[in-house]
Structure 1
Amino acid sequence: MNPFDLTGRLAVVTGAKRGIGFAMAQALAAAGADIIGVSASLDPESSAIADRVRESGRDFSGHRVDFADRAQVTAFADRLAANDRPVDILVNNAGTIRRSPASEHPLGWFDQVLEVNLTSGFLLSQILGRRMLEAGRGRILFTASLLSFQGGINVPGYAAAKSGVAGLVRALSNEWAGRGVTVNGIAPGYIATDNTHALQHDPDRSRAILERIPAGRWGLADDIGGAAVFLASDAASYVTGAILPVDGGWLGR
């Protein structure tokens, strides 16, 4: 038997419209999972990720949810929890970033970043996790960050949120691992996505970043897909409470 086979499982991937979320949804589908894709701007009727998942022969359902709106997130999670088919895999990937020096950082930005990157993931995990606990099995993944380990520059809200994600992974794992539900995080390194556009196009910052990465390149969103499949699969049944860096060796320097 293939311990990485996800055939017959249902995965919810937030932030699935593009970037890392797109890559993880695509990889999970290629491993056999049906996908519920969610994003603040996803067209439920037609999207590139829907096409890609269906090309893999898997089912896809698209949903638009504003992860900064707690009521929308809660209502969406309640609907999923009430479905006849339970969610087997939850990938809390939705995120946003706001860049401004801490001394000038608007409180509204700070609140929004924490709501999207941290609170929405807790709500989804809490509501969908109840049914996983009843079933005695489930996989929950969070997208953490290098800033789950470091402080960053000009992103105080994002650093606080991603540090919170790492703590939440451990807290949920401590409570749920003994009941069949594993909770883990993936910490992408410097990945070439919309969120890092400013850094990629800043010659000094980009050069400094590349000089520290042993792999010698920016990561690609597809580099995260394999880690997601592993942590969602039976191959990782004894892996829980972990934050897995996928960073080209950045943290090893």
Structure 2
Amino acid sequence: MFDITGKKAIITGGAQGLGLTMAETFQKMGAEVAVIDISDEVYNVPAKLNETNVLVHAVKGNLLDLDQLKDSFSEALEKLGGKVDILINNAGMIQRKPALEFSIETWNRILGLNVTSVFELSRLAAVEMKKQGSGKIINMGSILSVLGGYNAAAYSTSKGAILQLTKSLSNEWAEFGIQVNAIAPGYMLTTMNDDLMNDPVRAPQVEARIPAKRWGTAEDVAGVALFLASPASDYVTGTLIPVDGGVLAR
């Protein structure tokens, strides 16, 4: 039921953090993975994940550039033998700053990467998935898909959009055997939250708000991603699954 052996997966933002752990998990479970990332660190991913004989491919690309995005997707698809079963739209960015101090250039970059690139990659993947009558698209939302957040207007706007995009695409593509879902990580132990974890005021506030009394890990997210990528979720589509230690339930 949770078997993804032989499946072909594309994971964006997979050179570090949540994306790298998902790539490692999927490879260990038998999927062939192509990782797309803007960082040169992406070229080290195949060597890092050498525990099995299953292939991991590296593709460098700037997803804010739509031409590069299309080229990166085409390169990943070619390295996977012309097939994609799973797309994880994990790449994203955040800048914490009061709205009155936020530049429109940064706003556009965050919306461009966190929303526009997800839309375009999903469409490219859906074209291939429709041909085979099956596919799994997993978008990375956030607890800020639901909550407003603080000093994070652009990020929370982008993640709210991801929730609505997930629902809309799931409605259009379910009849083709394509499931589109989103994961909502909470406060995670990743570099994206370094500023929060190191803030002597905000860190205790965050920890006090989490019913599980701990920050989340990349492994917590990878387990849910595996469920959504596997046959176990064939009748699950258009939903947002929180991985937040209970924050949204509080």
Provide TM-score, normalisation by structure 2: 0.95
1:98, distance to aligned residue in structure 2 (A): 1.3
Q: Distance in 2 between matches of 1:52 and 1:5?
A: 23
CA displacement at 1:80 relative to structure 2: 4.4
Tell me the alpha carbon deviations over residues 9-62 of structure 1, each in whole angstroms, 9 at most, x when there is no partner.
1100000011111111111111110110111103454x1x32343313310110
Q: Which residue of 1 aligns with 2:234?
A: 237
Instruction: State yes or no: 1:72 paired with 2:68.
Output: yes
Question: Is the partner of 1:7 in helix, strand or coil?
Answer: coil
Change (3 A) 1:24 1:44: closer
Cα distance, 1:79 vs structure 2: 4.2
Return the letter of the residue paired with 1:246.
V
1:63 alignment partner in structure 2? 59
Question: Which whole-Å CA distance do the structure 2 matches of 1:52 and 1:79 have between them?
Answer: 21
Correspondent of 2:20 among 16, 19, 22: 22
Report the TM-score when normalising by structure 1: 0.94
How many angstroms apart in 2 are the aligned matches of 1:199 and 1:250? 16
- Summarize the Cα distance change of 1:17–1:81 in structure 2 as closer, same or farther, 3 Å threshold: closer
**Structure 1 residue 220 displacement after superposition:** 1.1
Q: 1:13 to 1:42 in 2, by over 3 A?
A: farther
Task: Tell me by how many angstroms 1:128 deviates.
Answer: 1.5
Segments of structure 2 that go 5 or more residues without pairing to the other structure are none
Q: 1:117 and 1:238 mapped to 2: Cα distance?
A: 26
Q: Which letter does structure 2 place at the counterpart of 1:66?
A: N
Percent identical: 39
Report the alpha carbon displacement of residue 124 of structure 1 after superposing the two structures with TM.
Answer: 0.7
- DSSP-derived class of the 1:37 partner: strand
Q: 2:92 aligns with which of 68, 80, 95?
A: 95
2:32 alignment partner in structure 1: 34
Q: Distance in 2 between matches of 1:106 and 1:38?
A: 27
Residues in 2 aligned to 1:88 and 1:33: alpha-carbon distance in whole angstroms:
10
1:168 is paired with a residue whose SS is helix
Alignment match, 1:110: 107
- Could you tell me which runs of 5 or more consecutive residues in structure 1 were left unpaired when the two chains were aligned: none
Q: CA RMSD in A?
A: 1.4
- The Cα of 1:214 is off from its aligned counterpart by 1.1
Instruction: Give the conservation status (yes or no) of the 8 Å contact 1:32–1:58.
Output: yes
1:183 aligns with 2:166: no
Instruction: Give the drift of 1:223.
Output: 1.2
Query: Which moved further from structure 2: 71-80 or 83-92?
Result: 71-80
In 1: Cα distance, 2:217 partner to 2:77 partner: 33
Matched, 1:170 2:167: yes
State the one-letter code of the partner of 1:104. Answer: E
Q: Report the residue type matching 1:18 in the other structure.
A: Q
Q: Which residue of 180, 195, 200 corresponds with 2:197?
A: 200
Q: Is 2:120 the partner of 1:123?
A: yes
Partner of 1:5: 3
Deviations 1:148-183 (A, max 9, x none): 001111111111111111011000000001110000
CA distance in 2, matches of 1:246, 1:164: 18
Aligned residue pair count: 249
The whole-number CA distance in structure 2 between the counterparts of 1:250 and 1:44 is 32
**Aligned ranges 1:141-160 → 2 under 5 Å:** 141-160=138-157
Provide the C-alpha distance between the structure 1 equivalents of 2:86 and 2:226, rounded to a whole number of angstroms. Answer: 10
SS state of the match for residue 244, structure 1? strand
